[in-house]
Structure 1
């Protein structure tokens, strides 16, 4: 007797409920990164919300010793984001602040909430690879690219293979830097406090990228990319800079960072 008709159909899988944390630099300096991140998460099958109450993560205050001020910001951010399944950021630096440093500056029940919250915080490329197993669309560009590993993402969160995996899945070959794990010199307020040293480190990173033959240096942290692009512009270095989210969605119309127009005269 055929009883297959009596078997209940499997319930459809529920989309992952994701809060996109835009970050200050994307909001103020490069909104295309936030838009690209949103599109990537949606393509990966996530239901994405961009909470309107989000503010700075508190990292500048924390890095300059204002731990009480950073703690107040942390509490506000946790309250606004902790009810989502996941919190995703296109920045290893800000993600590291939420995951690694909030538990260091909060106490009591706030520490418990910070630890629970940290378990749901992911940098964008890590989330797409480790949680979503995302397959990006193939990109047709044959231009050579190199990849910059930011210090916070690499050393705090172990982000190394994930961005390269996504680029490979998109058909983009990465030319590896000779000193891929060396700091670019940005370092948040370090570049303001030690401009000469910071500039020299940026020059070395830019030269390293150019030595690979790459036309574009890709990264996952806007702070590094903005600092490097600004330095390259001031020293007349012919290399482009883009965030990995922009590359993975095939954004060819937004000008490279620190450029006034897109390549080939695109708007």
Structure 2
């Protein structure tokens, strides 16, 4: 079994501190052969006992076993991506989005929304947010974008009970995104998260979730490029579904 599968099986049991350790291991900005439990603890600002508790939760007997799973995962991810394989995956993703993704509840929420507030956790997500703003502004919806938590803190005083807060995040572990969703002063505002999977903190904190598959491509420098065109497909699907409902009400 690969490292990601092991983590996903036990994700519900992990604390925020343990998720930080998992994120560090996934990013791979270290030499795996030189990694010890103490070095991992120091890098994540935790104790060795925290590493031991994580191993126990993941049902991994020894730190060496953890290193092996992570090493195999990194080796597999460093295989050069073939464009045809990415395209094949996208055919499958598009089929899932347009044939199987049920957005009826989200569209109903959008219809009843007075003001749509949008936030993207990264640079690419901010571009997706801007696309959504343009489309829904064209449909007559009032849309407000904020670019960081400071702008959110300023804007939240104007939130109404019929407003919707939408956050875009690939991994769903953004510290700012989590802080916004945990803001208990404004729990009356409905919250929707666009993210890759349900197994992340932001998705679990939101009232509504849209899970959008993407394709991760490893570069020679170990940086990950996220082929996230599917996020735009979902935005388009929301736009057309919303427009159809509005047109039907006008008839």
Q: TM-score range by the shorter chain?
A: 0.3 to 0.5
**So what's the TM-score if we normalise by structure 1?**
0.33
**So what's the TM-score if we normalise by structure 2?**
0.35
- The structure in which a higher percent of residues are helix is 2
